[in-house]
Structure 1
Amino acid sequence: MKYIGMPMGMWTLFGRSFERNLLTGFGLDRDSAKAVAAKAKPRYKEIIAGLPEFEKGDRFKMNIAGCALLAAFVLNMPKRPDVRRLTAYYSDSMMTPAMKWFCRKSGKSKFTKKDISSMKATERLRAADRNPYSWNMVFYPYPDGSGYEARFTACGICTLMRELELYDLVPAMCRLDHTMAEAGGTSDFVREYTLASGGPYCDCGYKKKRKGNGRKRK
């Protein structure tokens, strides 16, 4: 995969955030955080260069770049983090003001005809059949019309993190699905299984928020 383009944009958008949160998330001083970031950038480029190009229409290229970014920092931290602390670190680093804006914008189009059409197109693509760093997904609309589930049977993050010997840390990334759905403001995220925790698949369920949710009763 070429670094020029979206992967470079990911570093530009999130690199400073990942560096800054080394201070609050792991107690590093500024010089140590800068040293980690300085080593992480070329490692990130190296990981990206080892990935194949994604097919046109594959919506998960950003997901694998985010995984590569986190992995590059983890591989250069002075101490391997545990899942609990890494979960908070990844969420804090990814949920920048720009990302929160993106989630709100995406939330407005959730459950629209365009959104449903995009989900069905992803189901048909089955990109992981040809690219082990992508995803295969099955689309399940809820019979009662309350939303839908995206069920993943192949996960590019699992593939890459296993190769980098970081597979035990994958659950730290899974939690971001909840956080992004919450930031979107139009759906409640529900999940029973993840591949990383030994489940048969990763289920990403999105239920429409009822009007008035969160309002205080008089």
Structure 2
Amino acid sequence: MKYAGMPMAMWIIFSKSFKRNLTDVLKYDEQESRRITAEAKKKYRAVIEKLPEFEKADRFKMNIVNCAMLSAFFLNMPKLPDVDSATEYYKKSMMTGMMQWFCRMSGKKKYSESDIKSMKDTAKLKAGDRNPYSWNMEFYEYEDGSGYEARFTMCGICTLMKELGLEGLIPAMCRLDYTMSEAGGVTDFVREYTLASGGPYCDCGYKKKGAGHLAEPDEGSEKAAIRHK
């Protein structure tokens, strides 16, 4: 993957907040925060340039770029943080004013025809079959029209962070799904399983706020059978 383009832009946009939260959240002093950030930039570029190019229709390129950035910071810290600290660090670093605005704008389009079509197209693409750093997703709409579930059977974040020796910190990235959904203002995010914790898949349930009881996806009894094994 070329560093020029989205990866470079993402570094410009987010590196300051990643650096600031080395101090605000993880309590490194200013000198150490500068050192970590300088080394992280080198590592980030190296990781990006070893990744394959993503297909044009693959919507998950930004996810793997974010993963590479967070991993680069982790790999240059004197000591890896615990999961709770890593989760707070990533949340504060990503949820800048601009990102919160982006989530609100995305929320306005949630559950629209174009949103549903995009999800269905992503499920058909199965980019993870050709790129181990991408995702394979299945799409299920709730029978009562209260939302939908995106179910991931392959996860590029899991692949990359395992390769980098950061498997134990994958949940720090997973938790941002809740935060971004909350910032969007229209969704209650629900989840039962993650691949990182040994689940059969990662489920991302997007339920319309105020829709009442969460319906099962339109897929028969498959999920209930898994849950009660």
Letter of the 2:158 partner, please give it: C
Are 2:19 and 1:14 aligned?
A: no
In structure 2, how many angstroms separate the alpha carbons of the residues matched to 1:57 and 1:99?
22
In structure 2, how many angstroms separate the alpha carbons of the residues matched to 1:195 and 1:73?
23
In structure 2, how many angstroms separate the alpha carbons of the residues matched to 1:9 and 1:198?
34
Letter of the 2:143 partner, please give it: P
Q: CA deviation at 1:25?
A: 1.3
Q: CA deviation at 1:80?
A: 1.1
Partner SS, residue 8 of structure 2:
helix
Letter of the 1:207 partner, please give it: K
Partner SS, residue 196 of structure 2:
helix
5 Å-filtered alignment, 1:75-90, equals 75-90=75-90
**TM-score of the two chains, using structure 1 as the length reference:** 0.96
Are 2:7 and 1:2 aligned?
A: no
Q: Which residue does the alignment assign to 1:39?
A: 39
Q: Which residue does the alignment assign to 2:106?
A: 106
Q: Give the gaps of 5 or more residues in structure 1.
A: 212-218
In structure 2, how many angstroms separate the alpha carbons of the residues matched to 1:169 and 1:12?
24
Q: Which residue does the alignment assign to 1:151?
A: 151
**TM-score of the two chains, using structure 2 as the length reference:** 0.91
Letter of the 1:8 partner, please give it: M
In structure 2, how many angstroms separate the alpha carbons of the residues matched to 1:101 and 1:5?
22
In structure 2, how many angstroms separate the alpha carbons of the residues matched to 1:56 and 1:73?
28
Q: CA deviation at 1:210?
A: 2.1
Partner SS, residue 25 of structure 2:
helix
In structure 2, how many angstroms separate the alpha carbons of the residues matched to 1:70 and 1:103?
20
The alignment's C-alpha RMSD in Å is 0.7
Deviations 1:71-112 (A, max 9, x none): 000000111111110000000000000100000000000000
Q: Which residue does the alignment assign to 1:68?
A: 68
Q: Would you say how many aligned residue pairs link Structure 1 and Structure 2?
A: 211
**Identity fraction in percent:** 66
In structure 2, how many angstroms separate the alpha carbons of the residues matched to 1:136 and 1:79?
33
In structure 2, how many angstroms separate the alpha carbons of the residues matched to 1:104 and 1:92?
17
5 Å-filtered alignment, 1:104-143, equals 104-143=104-143
Partner SS, residue 196 of structure 1:
coil
Q: Which residue does the alignment assign to 1:192?
A: 192
Q: Which residue does the alignment assign to 1:214?
A: none
Q: CA deviation at 1:26?
A: 1.2
Letter of the 2:42 partner, please give it: P
Q: CA deviation at 1:185?
A: 0.3
Are 2:24 and 1:24 aligned?
A: yes
In structure 2, how many angstroms separate the alpha carbons of the residues matched to 1:201 and 1:25?
31
In structure 2, how many angstroms separate the alpha carbons of the residues matched to 1:57 and 1:68?
20
